[in-house]
């Protein structure tokens, strides 16, 4: 975790287009972003594509003098979440496809029963998150998958901490309801 | 593991299992693809590098990353460097500034600073000289552009440098009048005659009521006219030099209530501008009027008194006149006899046969002695004399000079004088004179002289000095 002071200096150096600073940002945030994208997407290739495109957009934004002014981490995670949202909006994935992808990824007999249950639960939660309202899904993902604090989530979502807590509450209720549905 | 690393633990058991399943799902790491992705990102960073802003953004970022102490120090150095560079640029730019320009103050300030810093007298003298030269150039430019009022401050500064130079040269404080005179002489010579008047007015404005400088127009006894102002000279007034009309003179004194000045001393500051002499020549009869001479309406002064020895009123002469710029009058520089049928100079030799107060008889003829006639030697009956006669415009013969030749006998006995060398002794001189006398007689018949006084010429010893006479003599021999 990078402190806010260090992140601010790093961002200034990145705006000055210091190659070292830009690579440092990549090395610092790329693993977390990749994991986050993977957990939302369920595919390494798509997660890599997502992260690569997020960093490309980040460079273009810096070159135009735009991009994040302070919260670099929140900015990058927001871009990942938006990319995933857009990805599923443009190419909706049916539950059957998800099962197929899960089976292809984990052939029968290669894993234990406990591992299979875990994967099944993970896939059900991934699908349930896709069906949640975007802001609720974003709050729950950042909170329980990436371990963001309410303040960090508020910076990423662009709202207050109280609103984040409210979104979390409503999102968890909706999530419980979705997970109980048979046809999820 | 902390609570932050396992956030789902705050959820109920069912939800916690779901989130734990997804949160612990780790992607497989392909290091080769990871390295490729990183290289791809680095290439993109280099490809998208903004051009032109690198330098500034680099230093800006470096500046931002500095520690506060070094940042302040660096900023201070930058500011000092900027001030120094800017000062140098401004000082250089101000070197050509003229009064009225904001940079001119900086120019003077810089000069004063240099003078203050200079410890060595030699360096100070060089600086004063250099700055005085600057003022002179500026003064020229200002006067040429008609900005006379602004030249006042400039001239004051110039005099300051000149006075400082004079003091350093003399080793003691110079008296202001002496320095001022030197200044005026110097300035009048450098600014040129076309700006002289403007310069004088500027100087006068500096010393209003105490001294002034102007052109001497006229000298009439103790009242001189300088630039239209009457200046009174008292017995105590010290006049240095010989001021002449046209000269630039400096007057120290005080102004009187009636507008005139009383001078304590007057000194020539600059001589009148030398002009090409204007010359004319006129031919006419001489008319004398007082100390002036008048010929054909032209009034003139004779520069050399010796010129009037033979010049008598009524004679026909050619006078070369030159205009005197200081006296503003014509002066004769050369007077030549105008030879004509009634204007000839002749010399007559003979013994004085009779003598009266205003005329003399030579060779039987009476010659009137003009009042201005010059007589050399003791004129007495029996003396051998040489008469120089002149025929005026009216045909009257007048004696201009009588020279008593006492040495005639000695010359005759020695036989080594010029006349003997010419192959003619003194005895034959009389025969020669008779021949010439006959020639004159024939000439006189041509002009039909009416005056009976001229008849003795036929018997006198006459030598005609004109070229006409020589030509006539040759014709006569033929």
Q: How many residues does chain A have?
A: 184
pLDDT digits (tens, 9 = 90+) for B383-401: 888 888 776 655 667 777 8
Average pLDDT over residues B319-339: 68
How much is the pLDDT for A50?
A: 92
Complete DSSP assignment for A109-176: TSS-HHHHHHHHHHHHHHHHHHHS-HHHHHHHIIIIIS---HHHHHHHHTS-HHHHHHHHHHHHHHHH
Beta bridge partners of B376: B403
- CA dist., res. B420 & res. B150, Å (int): 82
Name the percent of chain B lying above pLDDT 70: 59
Complete DSSP assignment for B430-441: HHHHHHHHHHHH
What Rg, from alpha-carbon coordinates, does chain A have?
18
CB atoms within 10 A of CB A3: 8
Residue A176: which of B8, B15, B24 has the nearest Cβ?
B15
- CA dist., res. A42 & res. A104, Å (int): 12
Residue A63: which of B27, B48, B58 has the nearest Cβ?
B48
Q: Where are the beta strands (DSSP E) in B221-291?
A: 223-226, 229-240, 248-255, 261-270, 278-289
> Which residue of B25, B56, B63 to mutate against A (max A Cβ within 10 Å)?
B25
- Would you state the CATH architecture of domain B345-477? Beta Barrel (2.40)
Contacts of B400 (CB under 8 A, 6+ apart): B309, B310, B312, B345, B370, B372, B373, B374, B388, B389, B390
- CA dist., res. A121 & res. B174, Å (int): 112
pLDDT digits (tens, 9 = 90+) for B45-75: 988 887 766 666 667 767 777 788 888 888 8
Q: Is the pLDDT of residue B78 over 80?
A: yes
Nearest Cα to Cα of residue A73 among A149, A137, A128, A132? A149
Nearest Cα to Cα of residue A171 among A151, A127, A141, A126? A141
* Yes or no: domain B278-337 corresponds to CATH 2.40.50.500: yes
- CA dist., res. A116 & res. B316, Å (int): 155
Q: How many residues does chain B have?
A: 478
Return left, alpha or beta for B52; rule: phi > 0 is left, psi -120 to 50 is alpha, else beta.
Answer: left
Alpha-carbon distances of B296 from A50, B54, B283, B328, B337, rounded to whole Å: 123, 96, 8, 19, 15
By C-alpha distance, the chain B residue nearest A123 is B22
Question: Residue holding tokens 């080769």?
Answer: B32
The domain locations on chain B are 84-206, 209-273, 278-337, 345-477
C-alpha distance from B74 to closest chain A C-alpha (Å): 19
CATH number at B209-273: 2.40.50.140
The domain locations on chain A are 1-91
Q: Is the pLDDT of residue B340 over 60?
A: no
How much is the pLDDT for A166?
A: 92
The DSSP element (H or E) to which B467 belongs, if any, is: helix B467-477
Chain centroid, CA B175 distance in Å: 25
Whether residue B7 and residue A144 make contact (CB cut-off 8 A), yes or no, is yes
How much is the pLDDT for B61?
A: 66
Which contacts qualify for B195-203: CB closer than 8 Å, 24 or more apart?
Answer: B195/B140, B195/B143, B195/B144, B196/B248, B196/B270, B198/B143, B198/B148, B198/B151, B199/B139, B199/B143, B199/B155, B200/B227, B200/B248, B201/B148, B202/B148, B202/B151, B202/B152, B202/B155, B203/B155
Cβ A122 vs Cβ B22: under 8 Å = yes
B27 and chain A: CB distance < 8 Å anywhere?
yes
Tokens of B193: 């005659």
By C-alpha distance, the chain B residue nearest A53 is B41
Alpha-carbon distances of A104 from A43, A101, A107, B230, rounded to whole Å: 11, 5, 6, 128
Q: Reduced to 3 states, what is the DSSP secondary structure of residue A69?
A: coil
- CA dist., res. A171 & res. A181, Å (int): 15
Nearest Cα to Cα of residue B321 among B311, B334, B309, B312? B334
For chain A, the distance separating the N- and C-terminal CA atoms, rounded to the nearest angstrom, is 36
Beta bridge partners of B76: none
pLDDT digits (tens, 9 = 90+) for B404-452: 876 544 444 444 443 333 333 333 333 334 344 444 434 433 333 333 3
- CA dist., res. B144 & res. B195, Å (int): 7
For chain B, the distance separating the N- and C-terminal CA atoms, rounded to the nearest angstrom, is 162
User: Do the domains B278-337 and B209-273 match in fold?
Assistant: yes
Question: Residue holding tokens 């002149």?
Answer: B390
The DSSP element (H or E) to which B123 belongs, if any, is: helix B121-144
B3 and chain A: CB distance < 8 Å anywhere?
no
Q: In chain B, which among 31-70 make CB contacts under 8 A with chain A?
A: 33, 37-38, 40-42, 44-46, 48-50, 53-54, 57-58, 60-61, 64-65
| pLDDT in 10s for each residue of chain A, 184 residues | 566 667 888 888 888 888 889 999 999 999 999 989 988 888 888 899 999 999 999 999 988 888 887 788 889 998 998 898 888 877 776 655 666 666 555 555 556 777 888 888 888 888 888 888 888 998 998 888 888 889 889 988 888 999 999 999 999 999 888 888 765 5
- Would you state the CATH architecture of domain A1-91? Orthogonal Bundle (1.10)
Question: Residue holding tokens 């003599």?
Answer: B473
The DSSP element (H or E) to which B359 belongs, if any, is: strand B359-362
How much is the pLDDT for B82?
A: 92
Question: Residue holding tokens 């201005």?
Answer: B372
């Amino acid at each position: 975790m990078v402190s806010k002071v260090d992140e601010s200096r790093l961002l200034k150096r990145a705006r000055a287009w210091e190659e070292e600073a830009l690579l440092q940002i990549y090395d610092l945030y790329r693993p977390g972003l990749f994991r986050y994208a993977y957990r939302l997407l369920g595919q390494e290739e798509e997660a890599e594509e997502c992260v690569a495109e997020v960093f490309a957009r980040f460079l273009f934004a810096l070159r135009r003098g735009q991009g994040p002014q302070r919260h670099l981490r929140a900015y990058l995670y927001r871009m990942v979440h938006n990319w995933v949202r857009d990805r599923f909006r443009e190419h909706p994935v049916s539950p059957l496809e998800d099962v197929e992808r899960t089976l292809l990824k984990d052939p029968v007999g290669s894993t234990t029963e406990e591992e299979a249950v875990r994967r099944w639960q993970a896939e059900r939660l991934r699908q349930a998150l896709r069906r949640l309202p975007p802001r609720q899904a974003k709050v729950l993902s950042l909170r329980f998958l990436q371990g963001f604090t309410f303040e960090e989530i508020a910076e990423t979502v662009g709202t207050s901490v109280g609103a984040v807590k409210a979104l979390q509450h409503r999102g968890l209720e909706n999530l419980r309801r979705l997970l109980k549905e048979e046809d999820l | 593991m902390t609570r932050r690393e396992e956030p789902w633990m705050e959820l109920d058991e069912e939800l916690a299992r779901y989130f734990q399943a997804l949160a612990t799902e780790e992607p497989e790491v392909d290091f080769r693809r990871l390295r490729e992705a990183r290289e791809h990102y680095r290439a993109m960073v280099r490809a998208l590098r903004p051009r032109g802003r690198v330098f500034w953004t680099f230093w800006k970022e470096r500046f931002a990353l500095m520690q506060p102490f070094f940042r302040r120090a660096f900023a201070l150095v930058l500011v000092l460097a900027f001030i120094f560079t800017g000062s140098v640029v401004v000082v250089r730019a101000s070197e050509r500034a003229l009064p009225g320009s904001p940079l001119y103050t900086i120019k003077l300030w810089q000069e004063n600073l240099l003078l203050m810093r200079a410890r060595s007298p030699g360096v100070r003298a060089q600086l004063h000289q250099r700055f005085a030269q600057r003022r002179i150039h500026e003064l020229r430019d200002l006067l040429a552009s008609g900005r006379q009022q602004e030249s006042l401050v400039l001239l004051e500064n110039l005099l300051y440098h000149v006075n400082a130079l004079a003091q350093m040269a003399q080793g003691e404080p110079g008296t202001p009048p002496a320095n001022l005179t030197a200044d005026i002489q110097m300035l009048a010579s450098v600014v040129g005659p076309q700006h002289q008047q403007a310069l004088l007015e500027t100087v006068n404005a500096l010393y209003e009521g105490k001294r002034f400088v102007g052109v001497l127009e006229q000298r009439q006894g103790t009242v001189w006219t300088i630039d239209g102002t009457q200046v009174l000279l008292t017995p105590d007034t010290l006049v240095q030099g010989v001021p002449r009309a046209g000269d630039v003179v400096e007057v120290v004194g005080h102004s009187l209530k009636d507008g005139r000045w009383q001078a304590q001393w007057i000194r020539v500051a600059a001589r009148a501008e030398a002009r090409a002499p204007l010359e004319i020549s006129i031919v006419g009869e001489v008319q004398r009027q007082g100390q002036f001479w008048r010929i054909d309406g032209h009034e003139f002064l004779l520069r050399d008194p010796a010129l009037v020895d033979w010049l008598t009123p009524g004679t026909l002469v050619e006078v070369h006149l030159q205009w005197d710029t200081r006296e503003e009058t014509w002066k004769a520089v050369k007077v030549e006899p105008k030879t004509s049928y009634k204007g000839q100079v002749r010399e007559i030799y003979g013994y004085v046969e009779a003598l009266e107060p205003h005329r003399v008889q030579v060779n039987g003829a009476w010659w009137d002695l003009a009042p201005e006639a010059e007589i050399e030697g003791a004129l007495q009956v029996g003396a051998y004399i040489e008469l120089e006669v002149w025929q005026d415009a009216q045909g009257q013969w007048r004696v201009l000079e009588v020279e008593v030749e006492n040495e005639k006998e000695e010359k005759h006995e020695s036989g080594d004088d010029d006349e003997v060398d010419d192959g003619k002794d003194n005895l034959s001189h009389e025969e020669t004179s008779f021949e010439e006398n006959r020639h004159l007689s024939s000439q006189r018949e041509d002009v039909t002289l009416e005056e009976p006084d001229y008849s003795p010429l036929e018997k006198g010893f006459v030598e005609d000095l004109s070229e006409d006479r020589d030509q006539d003599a040759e014709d006569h021999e033929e």
